[in-house]
Chain A
């Protein structure tokens, strides 16, 4: 696994998200209230809504377009909805954040 540096924890507001641009589209990187960090494809399984723009609560995000709730841990839609987004491994070293993009690349390949 290759760890790509993307910045520091303080770049992301608690209960917020930032994007990382890749040739494969945007990755959304979330920080929860208790400083857990998750990275997922910024593309809602429903109609492609930008999940990074949603409201973060617990380890989940509510999509801004039609309110699907997506688990940040599994990428799966919670509740009655069905669907999932790709999740990517994240590493926190001190304040520094790294993600592993293989999952994306293999999807691209």
Chain B
């Protein structure tokens, strides 16, 4: 029978341990995890990009729910273990779940240190450790008021940069004279302060916090000298402490952290500890690289595999603030037996310092240019005697043996066992080996196969250079996916150039942008046609031959070559007259299937192409227009009954849905657009999984967007709350126009929004009224040309040739 493995904590360390364990001994244990955080395992390191808006939370998830299901692992989300009974070998959670174990792993991470000053418990005082902290900061940032970050270390500065990105007025208070004094010498600390201030963040050093002041909520921070700095948000990022209380209560040996041997076993032979909560060889850690090594050691032990032991090594520190390059490693305090080599380039803001002892590197600080970090690290690790290259050492690797300053040459010169990805301990040889043996072609491939660059991402540049070196010409470093084989340009470049060069026909685009084929292909032509329709609504003549058949004949092709027809039912509302007309059409043309669609209207399927114009003639007489069920355009606007009928309805959701549909139908969009309006938060129209949705509430209209319920499932994000129907319409129209102008062909709103960031969309559509109005007006202008019912056009003879064969020949004739 499998043994029971229980894990307390679901952070980065045990997550990695499980990956190794499942590889080495997939069936050995039945695994149960308790995690105090109510979520799956994610990349905590990347919280800063989430805070600043560069990434969405979904992008930093390491193991999604499916992973646990696939591996048969039980994950208790939001369960904090409150007791370990080592006699009975059980753990108990705060929700009363008790689970027994054969082996237990404690991986409770760290707790942020909170300075014990008056006011530390006021609402508005946050730490920076998990997603809840980030969400709380984002909420506070909406007010765009003042924030104070206490602590000028790695975490504090990342928090400050993120809050600044989100529009807050940020001050960093740091108790020491220079920033990040534990990782940087004063010179680099000074440069860092200048770089931080250049982004509009205020920095106060030697600032000792006396109290956090406020009445019922934070109003400011008082310093020892009596100064009071006003703020509505205070983030404390002054350090972390290993989270070892639970282990201590259970009677395990605890010093600074939970004491473990070099195989991760605690003083109890059935219990391991790893991650930031563990203390090994007198060290506790706060960066992932050593924790990942612990994970490897622990997995080997649990699998009864190789006898792997943990050995201490220094981990480089890098700051993940876009635009600030900083690298620090090892020991750089001054000392009698130490020498140093320094390079400064004031105009370029570069500072490099290497600290030597006995001609060997023991520490490095790089600011402004960090490309040589890996090389210095390698020299340090191997304790290479540098006396021969002493004069040129500081200029970096490219300078050694030849004056090449080509960064590629520098990477080429790295030894195969030089470490590239510090977080995951991946060396150069492993990456180039994987590129060749597995035929990898891009960054994502390398991440998937080796994990290099998959954690904090600061080695991405090096990995890209390795790709370039290994693949040569075959590697396209720009990483822009060309639109198709006809061009090297990506969608964004093409869109930009169409506008910049004023290109107004498909041949003009192909000529000016040097298309490699004479008339494009089935991928690029529909995209170009859309871009031109969108950019020049009054001047461009739609290129009918560049449309997919459905958009050419305004019906959906079926597997047997027949078509389906879906007329609009505005907002899902119909009438006896409409239903009767549909019934008559179905009888007259012997339509084999009539179906209610998922979009609140009726689909008639199996119509012969030749019959389409006649079907439309009859439908048109009853007042129907095309439902565009085939279009990269506005599809349906689903509604619920709303305040006219429903006892809970707060607004006229049906009316608003119809109004939106009537306003926006006919418009072409990069991909289909589906909307819904619900009359109250019960949300019967399912507005929160649509491209654009409205949830009516007492105080107005909550506008949602970027939902999905097809190939991907995603709840919407809230764009904002508006008071009137008119405002709701303006916001929605402006949002869709922004999407029309920016997205890549076939990119649904949720993908586009993810790419450019919710914050940017809010800024342009909600905050900047002028921009919103301009988008709105451009949409209205384009509708003048787009809002023409394609069915009635064809009934009156347009594209007649589409609907009948050019000739019919009989056999007699043919056999003649």
Contact = CB atoms under 8 A, between A and B. Distances in A.
A-B complex is real: yes
Interface of A: 2, 4-7, 11-16, 18-23, 26, 29, 32-34, 47-50, 53-58, 62, 64-65, 67, 69, 101, 104-105
Interface in B540-575: 544-550, 552-553, 557, 559, 561
Given A23-B810, A23-B811, A16 B805 contact: no
A105 B813 CA distance: 11
A20 B526 contact: no
A79 B583 CA distance: 46
B814 A55 contact: no
A18 B557 contact: no
A105 B525 contact: no
Contacts of B809: 4, 6, 20-22, 101
A36 to B, nearest CB: 12
21 contacts: A5-B807, A7-B806, A7-B807, A11-B806, A12-B806, A14-B545, A16-B545, A19-B806, A21-B808, A22-B809, A22-B810, A23-B814, A26-B805, A33-B519, A54-B522, A55-B526, A55-B546, A58-B519, A64-B550, A65-B557, A67-B522
Given A54-B522, A55-B545, A101-B814, 20 more contacts: A4-B816, A6-B806, A7-B806, A11-B801, A13-B544, A15-B546, A18-B801, A18-B805, A18-B806, A19-B805, A21-B808, A23-B814, A47-B559, A53-B549, A57-B520, A57-B525, A62-B521, A64-B550, A101-B809, A105-B815
A19 B559 CA distance: 18
A69 to B, nearest CB: 7
A60 to B, nearest CB: 8
Contacts of A64: 548-550, 557
A5 B814 CA distance: 10
A20 B807 contact: yes
A87 to B, nearest CB: 16
Contacts of A6: 806-807, 809
B518 interface: yes
A2 B549 contact: no
B517 interface: yes
Interface residues of B, number: 32
Given A2-B816, A4-B813, A105-B815, A21 B807 contact: yes
A101 to B, nearest CB: 4
A56 B553 CA distance: 16
Contact of B806 (A20, A53, A67): A20
Contact of B517 (A7, A53, A57, A105): A57
Given A53-B557, A57-B525, A65-B559, A29 B806 contact: yes
Contacts of A20: 805-809
A20 B807 CA distance: 5
A2 B814 CA distance: 8
A31 to B, nearest CB: 10
A91 B441 CA distance: 47
Nearest to A49: B561
A54 B523 CA distance: 12
Contacts of B811: 22-23, 105
Nearest to A16: B545
Contacts of B522: 54-55, 57, 62, 67, 69
B806 A22 contact: no
Contacts of A18: 801, 805-806
Given A6-B807, A6-B809, A21-B807, A33 B518 contact: yes
Nearest to A108: B811
B187 to A, nearest CB: 59
Interface in B790-816: 801, 805-811, 813-816
B636 to A, nearest CB: 23
Contacts of B517: 57-58
A55 B806 contact: no
Contacts of A54: 522, 549
Contacts of B815: 2, 101, 105
Contacts of A57: 517, 519-522, 525
B612 to A, nearest CB: 12
B561 A50 contact: yes
Interface in B283-325: none
Nearest to B811: A23
A53 B612 CA distance: 15
A15 B552 CA distance: 13
A8 to B, nearest CB: 9
Nearest to B563: A53
A11 to B, nearest CB: 5
A13 B543 CA distance: 11
Contacts of A53: 549, 552-553, 557, 561
Contacts of B805: 18-21, 26
Contact of A13 (B519, B549, B553, B801): B801
Contacts of B553: 53
Contacts of A48: 561
Contacts of A5: 807
A5 B526 CA distance: 33
Contacts of A15: 519, 545-546
B559 to A, nearest CB: 7
A55 B525 contact: yes
Contacts of A16: 545
Interface string B612-640: 00000000000000000000000000000
A5 B816 CA distance: 12
B266 to A, nearest CB: 56
A13 to B, nearest CB: 6
A23 B809 CA distance: 8
Contacts of B814: 2, 4, 22-23, 101, 104-105
